[in-house]
Amino acid sequence: MKMKRLAFLLFLIVFLAGCSDYDQDGNTTSEKAKQKYDVAINQVFKTENQFLKKQQIDRQLKRNTGETGAIVYEDQGLIEIYYDQSARGERAIYQKDGSTYARKTYTKQISRKIDDSEKKYLENIGIK
């Protein structure tokens, strides 16, 4: 009887873990998460387009295309966008500043925050 209960408990734990929106690395691509981060990601793309225009770079980024992607590091208040997923791998990092996101330079501190992040939302990134 104890073996049946133990087997059932083990099955239940495995089943419930499989029902999570997050994979074993803490990443999600769920529609629920997309809705949660939609406004913030759109704001970051808009701000990055303004930055590129200021830098006189003739490029207009569009979200949800084969060339752009985003990673949200919610617990660190960071959004990283990729706008060239080829070998060059152009990207930018934005940090939450009140109700907006400000463009930051990749520093050791920012890299450490990314490394320490647990849960992430991935959008249109090669790793699913």
Whole-number pLDDT of residue 24: 46
CA neighbor of 40 nearest in space, from 89, 98, 85? 98
Residue 65: what pLDDT? Answer: 72
- Which residue intervals of 19-120 are DSSP H helices? 31-54, 108-116
Dihedral sign for Cα atoms in the order 61, 38, 96, 112: negative
Residues of the chain with pLDDT below 50 are 19-20, 24-25, 127-128
> Which tokens hold the place of 106?
């990749």
Domains of the chain by range and CATH?
Answer: 27-123 (3.10.450.560)
Residues 82 and 45: beta-carbon distance below 8 Å:
no
With residue 7 as reference, give the H or E element that holds it.
helix 2-18
| Residue 48, pLDDT score | 93
Checking 60-66 for CB contacts under 8 A at 24+ apart, the result is 64/123, 64/124, 65/124, 66/124
| pTM listed for this prediction | 0.72
